[in-house]
Structure 1
C-alpha cells in the first residue's frame, strides 16, 4: 500500500481558516463500494457530509464520485494490510483537515465447522475483521483526541454477541472486535469520542451471494449440524428482511443522539435473537449462581 494511494474525487487541501467554519462531517468508510459501506456512504452524502470511501477496487465508487464530485472521493485500501493504516489516515487528514467518523465496515462471511477451518482461513478473517480495524482505529485516534471529538463505528454482527454452528470462525472475529471496542469506548469517552458497535441481522447486502462467502472444506461428520447452515446462507441471498438504506439511516441517527448506544442491533431478527440470548444468559446464571458463588474463600 505504501506509496500507492489512489484517489478519485476531491483532493483540494483545506486551509486552517476554512476548517474552522466548515460544518459538514468527514467520513472514512472501509468496504464502501457495496453493502452497508455503500449505504452508509450514500446516507452521509445525503446529509451533506464528505465521504472518503476505501476499497480494494475503488472504481466501484466511480458513479458516486461522478454524482457528487465535491463530496466523495475513493481510495484504494486493503484493510488486511495493517501497514497502510497510518498512511491512509494521514493523507485523508491532510486533504480534509480531519476525520470525524471512521467506519470499519469491510468484511466477508465464512461458513464451516470449527474443525474444518484452517489456520490460514482463520488468520485471513482475523486480519480483515480485527487487526485491520484495530490498526485504522489506532491511526485515527490521535487526530480525534487532538480535536476532542469524533466517532468510531465498528460493523460487527448479531454474531458478535453469540455464535451458532457453522459460523464459529466468523463470530470469533466479531467477538474480538466487540471486546476491543467495549474497552475502547470506556477509554475515549472522557476525550469526547464515541464508539458505536453495529450488530446487523440478515440484510440484503450481498453478504451471502455467490462467491462472497468463504467456505471451509466440508467434513461429512458435520453434515447434520453445519450442512443446513451452508445451504441456508446461500438460499437466503436476496430474500433477507433487512434494508441496508434503513440501516444506514439508523446508524446516522444513533451517532447524532446525545446518548449514543454502545451497541446497536439492527433488524427485527437481530432484536429477537439478541433478546433471546440475553434471556438465556440470565436463566443460566440463575440456575448456576449458587455454584458460581461457592468458589469464594469462606468469610
Structure 2
C-alpha cells in the first residue's frame, strides 16, 4: 500500500511519538492524537513540521465524542488505513486499594477508548476491504503480577476484544495485531500512578509491597531499547523490511525478551493446567464407561 494513512493515539511521547516519527520518515501519512495540544507542544511541533497532522482526543471521552473525532481525522486524507491504539496508562497497587473512579478511568482509557476508535474506523475499512488495527497491550495483558491487577485486567480486556475483532473482520481484509511490550526505556514508568488509598497495613512485607517498591528503582534502567522495538513494530505493521514477513501472519507480537520469556512461561502453566483437567475428564469418562 503506497503512502498509507496512520491514526496513532497517544502520540505525545513514548512508542506513539516514535512510531509517528518512523512512519513519517518512511513517507507515510500520519495523524497523531494527543489529549491536550498545549501540554504536548514539542510532539505536536515535530509531527506537524514533518508533514503530519495532530488532533486532540481524550480517550476517556464518551463514545459519541470519540466517534466524531475519528470521523474528523478520516476526513483529513479521506481514509484511515492503520489505526494504532497506543494511548494508555497504568495504575499500580493492591486490588484492595482501588476506588471506583480509579477503576473506571483505567478502563475508559485502556479499553473503552480503543473500542470506540475501532468502531470509528471499521466502516471505512470494511467498505475498502482493507485496513489494519494495532492494539498496544503489554506483557501484563498475558501475565498479570501482584500489584498490577487493575492494569493487567484492562489489558486482558483489550486482548479479549482484539481476538474477537480479529475473527469478525478478517473476511473483510482487515488485519489485527496485539502488541505486548515488556520493559522499555520510555516514559511509562515515569507516568505510573498509584491509588489514593494507601496499601493496608496488613500487606507490610508482602509481595505486593515489594513489587510496588521495585518500580521506582527501575526508571531509566529498563533493558529494552524503544527505537529498536518501534522499528520492528513499524515493519510488522507496514509489511516493509525484514520483519515485514510477519505482517498478517501473527495475532500477537511480544516485544523484548523479558516479555517473550514471561509469556512463554505463562503459556506453559496454562497448558499444564489444561493437561491436569484433561486427566480428570478422562478418568471420569473411564469410570462411567463413557
For the structure 1 residues 295 and 116, does the alpha-carbon distance in structure 2 shift closer, same or farther, using more than 3 Å as the test?
farther
Instruction: Single out whichever of 231-240 and 175-184 deviates more from structure 2.
Output: 231-240
Q: Distance in 1 between matches of 2:52 and 2:282?
A: 56
Partner of 2:24: 45
For the structure 1 residues 52 and 287, does the alpha-carbon distance in structure 2 shift closer, same or farther, using more than 3 Å as the test?
same
Partner of 1:219: 200
State the Cα distance separating 1:153 from its structure 2 match: 0.4
Q: Which runs of 5+ in 1 are unaligned?
A: 1-21
Residues 194 and 260 in structure 1, CA contact (< 8 A), matched pair in contact too: no
CA RMSD of aligned residues (A): 1.7
For the structure 1 residues 221 and 55, does the alpha-carbon distance in structure 2 shift closer, same or farther, using more than 3 Å as the test?
same
For the structure 1 residues 164 and 298, does the alpha-carbon distance in structure 2 shift closer, same or farther, using more than 3 Å as the test?
farther
Residues 196 and 260 in structure 1, CA contact (< 8 A), matched pair in contact too: no
Instruction: Single out whichever of 30-39 and 114-123 deviates more from structure 2.
Output: 114-123
State the Cα distance separating 1:288 from its structure 2 match: 3.5
Partner of 2:3: 24
Indicate yes or no: 2:225 matched with 1:236: no
Instruction: Single out whichever of 191-200 and 76-85 deviates more from structure 2.
Output: 76-85
1:164-220 Cα offsets, whole Å, 9 max, x none, are 1000000000000100100110111110000000000001111111xx222122112
Partner of 2:257: 268
Partner of 2:242: none
Instruction: Single out whichever of 120-129 and 256-265 deviates more from structure 2.
Output: 256-265
Q: Distance in 2 between matches of 1:182 and 1:229?
A: 30
Indicate yes or no: 2:129 matched with 1:148: yes
Residue 99 of structure 1 is aligned with which of 77, 80, 91?
A: 80
TM-score, L = length of structure 1: 0.87
Partner of 2:106: 125
TM-score, L = length of structure 2: 0.89
Match of 1:214, SS state, is coil
State the Cα distance separating 1:117 from its structure 2 match: 1.4
Residues 130 and 172 in structure 2, CA contact (< 8 A), matched pair in contact too: yes
Q: Distance in 2 between matches of 1:298 and 1:215?
A: 55
Residue 67 of structure 1 is aligned with which of 49, 61, 64?
A: 49
1:94-121 Cα offsets, whole Å, 9 max, x none, are 1201001111111111111111112211
Indicate yes or no: 2:158 matched with 1:169: no
Q: Distance in 2 between matches of 1:260 and 1:110?
A: 33
Indicate yes or no: 2:14 matched with 1:35: yes
For the structure 1 residues 94 and 142, does the alpha-carbon distance in structure 2 shift closer, same or farther, using more than 3 Å as the test?
same
1:135-187 Cα offsets, whole Å, 9 max, x none, are 11011100100111111100010111121100000000000010010011011
Residues 254 and 260 in structure 1, CA contact (< 8 A), matched pair in contact too: no
1:25-83 Cα offsets, whole Å, 9 max, x none, are 11111110111111111111111111111011224223313531xx2111111011133
Q: Distance in 2 between matches of 1:267 and 1:215?
A: 25
State the Cα distance separating 1:237 from its structure 2 match: 1.1
Match of 1:123, SS state, is helix
For the structure 1 residues 144 and 295, does the alpha-carbon distance in structure 2 shift closer, same or farther, using more than 3 Å as the test?
farther
Q: Distance in 1 between matches of 2:282 and 2:77?
A: 54
Aligned residues: 274
State the Cα distance separating 1:295 from its structure 2 match: 6.6
